Amino acid sequence: MDNIQIENSIYQPKSFFVKGFVFLAVLLLLGWWFHRQVYFSHGTGDAAQNFEIRSGEGVKDIAKNLEERQLIKNDFYFNYFVWKTKAREKLQAGKYEIRGSMTIPEIAQVLSMGEVVSNEVKITFPEGTNLKSMAEILSSKGFDGEKFLTVAKSGAGVKMDYEFLEEKPKNVDLEGFLFPDTYIFFKNTSEANIANRMLLNFDEKLTGDMRAEIEKRGKSIFEVVTMASILEKEVKTPEDMKIASGIFWDRIGAGMPLQSCATIAYVLGKEKKQYSYDDTRTPSPYNTYINRDLPPGPIDNPGMNALHAAVYPAKTDYVYFLSDPETGKTIFSKTIEEHEANKAKYGL
């Protein structure tokens, strides 16, 4: 019995040393693994993603967003790193480009140095811009204008199941429905998605009340948009648009030609201060001097004022109007005599 106790006392220190060594080895292994997770791990993919830190956003939220976007594996390691390196207070609000192949230290450096990279393009399409001009604007901003034209004419890649497009003839392009506005697109936004964004904007701008009024008046959205596109080019102010709208709808109701100079400009492909008789005889289904009713489709993409005027025309006694070639001011008249006098006055 005594021999056994002596033997145990001899081997016990060795056993303790082995256990201690194993424990230390495990700690070192865990430390090495943890170090790799913090300093060398990365997210998924090498493609750059747009990542935004909003003003007032905390570190935990930033880390969580990075993990959700798969830019880091685990938000805990990011939180630990910025705490250990005292980088928490250095993270700056802004928009960044982050890659999944970047390590946590690399991401933290970008976010703390304020290396903001704008991957966005701001584009303004003025009211009344037609498809060709929209394509030119897009080309000037680095997009493929010709591809945009193809998309707008064919509808390829475009969401076409909007109610307002159901009445559009299949052979007519998206002219009139690509709402003119200021947009912010990512540089890699496809031309089809640009068109989709503009169609969605149109859908949101055409309110339920406007749709109800269009139906009440026995019109179609396509007809109203076509009228609005003419008003956009014919007159300048919202008030004048409503008066001109009333005159044009009355002419259609009476079976008279609209005689819109805006449609002649569309046919000729250029604007003039004054159009000749021969200009007004130019053969085209869009020529509203020689054809009755509305043209086959919109001649541009009208803004909100023109759309509103087409939906809610003013009821007046005016029958004729013209534009001062110098100022563009609209001059209305109630009789043909007044109209002829105004034409003489303004040299038309």
% of the chain with per-residue pLDDT over 70:
87
Q: Spell out the SS3 assignment of 176-210.
A: CCCCCCEEEEECCCCHHHHHHHHHHHHHHHCCHHH
Q: Do 171 and 258 share a domain, yes or no?
A: no
Distance from the Cα of residue 88 to its chain's centroid:
35
Residue 14 belongs to some domain of the structure: no
Q: Is residue 219 part of a domain?
A: yes
Last residue of a domain, one of 157, 190, 205: 205
Mean pLDDT of 213-234: 96
Domain boundary among 113, 130, 145: 113
Range of the domain at 86: 48-113
19 belongs to a structural domain:
no
Per residue in 173-197, pLDDT (tens digit) is 999 999 999 998 988 899 999 999 9
Q: Indicate whether 191 and 218 sit together in one domain.
A: no
Q: Would the pLDDT of 205 be above 80?
A: yes
Query: Which ranges in 281-335 belong to alpha helices (H)?
Result: 304-311
| 128 and 89 share one domain | no
Q: Compute the mean pLDDT over every residue in the chain, rounded to the nearest whole number.
A: 87
Same domain assignment for residues 100 and 71: yes
Tell me: do 142 and 83 sit in the same domain: no
User: In this structure, is residue 6 part of a structural domain?
Assistant: no
Mean pLDDT of all residues in 62-79? 89
Residue 238 lies in a domain: yes
Q: Decide if 22 is inside a domain.
A: no
Q: Say what the pLDDT of residue 6 is.
A: 46
CATH number at residue 96: 3.30.1490.480
Give me the number of domains the chain comprises: 3
Cα dihedral sign, 103-108-110-111:
positive
Query: Do both 259 and 336 map to the same domain?
Result: yes
Q: Cα separation of 54 and 93, whole Å?
A: 5
Residue 13 inside a domain? The answer is no
Instruction: Give the tens place of pLDDT for each residue, 238-286.
Output: 999 999 999 999 999 999 999 999 999 999 998 887 888 999 999 999 9
Q: Of residues 317 and 4, which shows the higher confidence score? A: 317
> Given a cut of 80, is residue 9 above it in pLDDT?
no
Residue 60 has pLDDT above 70, yes or no: yes
Residues 201 and 216 reside in one and the same domain: no
pLDDT in tens, 93-115: 888 888 888 888 888 888 887 76
**Model confidence pLDDT, tens digit, residues 116-149:** 666 778 999 999 999 999 999 999 999 999 999 9
Q: Within a 10 A sphere around the Cβ of 218, how many other Cβ atoms?
A: 7
Based on the fold, state whether residues 184 and 233 are members of the same structural domain: no
Is the full-model pTM beyond 0.95? no
Same-domain pairing of 104 and 154: no
CA 94 to chain centre: 21
Both 64 and 154 in a single domain? no
pLDDT at 33 over 70: no
95, 135: one domain: no
Q: Is the pLDDT of residue 2 over 60?
A: no
Which of 15-24, 70-79, 223-232, 288-297 is predicted least confidently? 15-24
214 and 340 inside one domain: yes
- DSSP for 15-60? HHHHHHHHHHHHHHHHHHHHHHHHHT---S-SSEEEEEEPTT--HH
Of 155, 177, 205, the domain-final residue = 205
The number of beta carbons lying within 10 Å of the beta carbon of residue 136 is 14
Closest CA to 245 of 293, 307, 302: 307
Residue 20 domain flag: no
pLDDT band at 3 (very low <50, low <70, confident <90, very high): very low
